[in-house]
Structure 1
Amino acid sequence: MAEENVPSKDHWLSIGEIAHRSGVAASALRFYEDQGLIRSRRTAGNQRQYQRSTLRRIAFVQAAQRVGLALAEIKGALDSLPDDRTPTRADWSRLSRSWRSRLDERIAELERLRDDLDGCIGCGCLSLQRCNLYNKADRLAERGPGARILNVGIPGE
């Protein structure tokens, strides 16, 4: 007789099945596994198999990435959940409450970008000294001449 808490063979899916059902490439699944976001077991032929509950963890990862969380933050959130079950609606609600302020910040940032963009369209300034998008109010002049930012934002802000 099988143990009660041990998933049956039917609860395990190949990497191809997980990729197909989740819409996530197998390479991304292997990366997620390397990052500790999901786990698999290996068959005698060294093929990855995932519990069906991994599908919900993958959905969780994708939703958290859309919020703008880094994989390390997502891993921390997943690590706070019990290993023996999938994330529930209550789990998601608890974790997503802490992300709400981040979303509010992103929305405000996008609104500022939209508003600054209106004044920039067609200006033709081609100047990082005057550009409201890259160097509003010439904030970087105090750091000296030359390139101070790349397309990743302004350090220290």
Structure 2
Amino acid sequence: MTKSEKIKELQGLSVGEVAERSGVAISALHFYEAEGLIESWRNGGNHRRYSRDVLRRIAVIRVAQRAGVPLKEIAEALKTLPQKRTPNAKDWARLSARWKSELDARIEALTRLRDELTGCIGCGCLSLKACPLRNPGDQLAIGGSGPILLSGRVDS
């Protein structure tokens, strides 16, 4: 690393540079920081600065979000990474393994919903006893008879 590169690294990236290089809006960067997903520091001029490792962290956040992982879970996973170090392939393998079974379950549920949706739309009955979308396996029967959903006796 050259002397100018070392100086640039110590100075960090501005919020605008991070936004441009990561493709994330400045407001999103501020939100990520407020949620503890990334961190910055203030320079002598009180400007927000980021270390370069934040770019990889943002990439991890964005990929996880696209996979449907909630930000709270992403934040918990990122807490397991050492600060001031760029997440590497081994880190990503460990993080993504945490989410794999949940994603598999979500895919299975969505596939089942897609397959059941086609049959239901055709009949239009939306029978509370028979509809696999609204009341799979007649689960609402446990709450008794009558307008269970309207009475608040069962969560919809």
The yes-or-no answer on 1:65 pairing with 2:68 is no
Matched ranges for 1:106-121 at <5 A: 106-121=106-121
Are 1:77 and 2:73 matched, yes or no? no
Give the drift of 1:126: 4.7
- Residue 123 of structure 1 and its aligned partner are, at CA, apart by 2.1
Q: CA deviation at 1:103?
A: 1.9
1:8 matches 2:7: yes
Q: Cα distance 1:84–1:136, how it changes in 2: closer, same or farther (>3 A)?
A: same
Q: CA deviation at 1:47?
A: 2.6
1:37 offset after TM fit, Å?
0.5
Hey, what's the Cα distance between the residues in 2 that align with 1:58 and 1:43? 21
| TM-score, with length taken from structure 1 | 0.78
| Bigger Rg over Cα | 2
Whether the aligned pair in 1 keeps the contact of 2:53 and 2:84 (CA below 8 Å) is no
Give the length in aligned residue pairs: 144
Classify 1:134/1:21 alpha carbon distance in 2 versus 1 (closer, same or farther; 3 Å).
farther
Task: Give the match for residue 103 of structure 1.
Answer: 103
Q: Report the AA paired with residue 71 of structure 1.
A: L
Query: What do residues 12-48 of structure 1 show as CA deviations (whole Å, max 9, x unaligned)?
Result: 2221221122121111111110111100112344332
CA positional deviation for 1:149: 4.4
Q: 1:43 and 1:128 mapped to 2: Cα distance?
A: 62
Q: Which amino acid aligns with 1:146?
A: L
- Structure holding more helix per residue: 2
**Separation in structure 2 between the aligned mates of residue 20 and residue 125 of structure 1, nearest angstrom:** 51
1:9: Cα distance to partner? 2.9
Structure 2: how far apart are the matches of 1:32 and 1:39?
A: 8
Q: Give the secondary-structure state (helix, strand or coil) at the position aligned to 2:122.
A: coil
Change (3 A) 1:141 1:26: farther
State the secondary structure of the residue aligned to 2:72: helix
| 1:146 alignment partner in structure 2 | 149
Identity %: 56
Q: Which residue of 1 aligns with 2:38?
A: 38
Unaligned 5+ residue runs, structure 2? Answer: 1-5
Aligned to 1:3: none
Structure 1 residue 130: Cα displacement: 4.1
- Contact 2:32–2:38 under 8 Å retained in 1: yes
CA gap of 1:146–1:100, structure 2 versus 1, over 3 A, is: closer
Q: What is the deviation of 1:76?
A: 1.8
Structure-2 change in CA distance of 1:40 and 1:125 (3 Å): same
